[in-house]
Amino acid sequence: MTLDPGLYNYWIVILLMMTGLYTVISRGNLVKKVIGLNVFQVSVIMFYVSMGKVEGGMAPILVEEAEAVYSNPLPSVLMLTAIVVGVATTAVALALAVRIHEAYGTLEEDEILEKEYGAAGPGAADGPVDDHEPG
């Protein structure tokens, strides 16, 4: 196989990162935002791990061979803990979402703002309010 990914990995990582960012910016649903953050997080982890790979290397678990080539263990260490910390912080975000839902009865950003500030709240200036919402 002579396929060489070159910089392809990094481009996909950037695509993922931007997808996550777009979700966080443009979606009003809080759980969707958390999902977007998760996508973003995975992309960062992927970026680090991609950099750690050495061509023809193997996982940094030492073997008896003298001439073995290993991939870089350092990104693994950093990202391993980052994943577990990531799920813990995701849990905090989700817990906040649950409490917000209990308080406002919705997870939609603009509805929460409406409940907080009334119909002409800070969200109203951003665009035309279309009240023909089905269901």
Partner 1 sequence: MLALIDVVLLAFLAVTAVAIVRLRDLFAAVMVTGIFSLLSAGLFTVMDAVDVAFTEASVGAGISTILMLATLAVTQDVEKKRWRRRFSPLALGVVVVTGAALVYGTFDMPRYGDPDAPIHHYLAPHFLEHTPDDINEHIPNVVTAVLASYRGYDTFGETTVIFTAAVMVLMLLGGAATIDRRRPGGGRMGANVVLRASAKPLVPLILLFGLYVQFHGDFGPGGGFQAGVIFAAGLVLYALVYGPDRAQAIFTGRRLEALVALGVLIYGGAGVAGIVLGGEFLDYDLLAADPQDGQHRGIFLVELGVGITVAAVMTTLFLLFTGRGQPAPWEDRVGESEGTP
Partner 2 sequence: MTYFTVATLAILVSMAMLLVRAFKGETVYDRILAVNSFGTKTVLLIALMCFMTGRPDFIDLALVYALMNFISTIAVLRFTRYHDMLDDDDLRARRLSAPIAPAIEEELT
- Binding positions for partner 2, rule: CB under 8 A: 58-59, 61
Least distance (Å) from partner 2 to the CB of residue 57? 10
Site for partner 1 in 10-29 (CB under 8 A): 10-12, 14-23, 25-29
Alpha-carbon separation of residue 121 from 6, 55, 61, 109, 113 (angstroms) = 50, 56, 58, 12, 7
Q: Which amino acid is at 68?
A: A
| Shortest distance in whole angstroms from residue 128 CB to partner 2 | 31
CB closer to partner 2 out of 25 and 61: 61
The CA-based angle 125-127-130, given to 5 degrees, is: 120
Check binding of 90 to partner 1 (CB under 8 A): yes
Closer to partner 1 by Cβ: residue 35 or 121: 35
- Is residue 42 a contact residue for partner 1 (CB under 8 A)? yes
Q: How far apart are CA 4 and CA 77, in angstroms?
A: 26
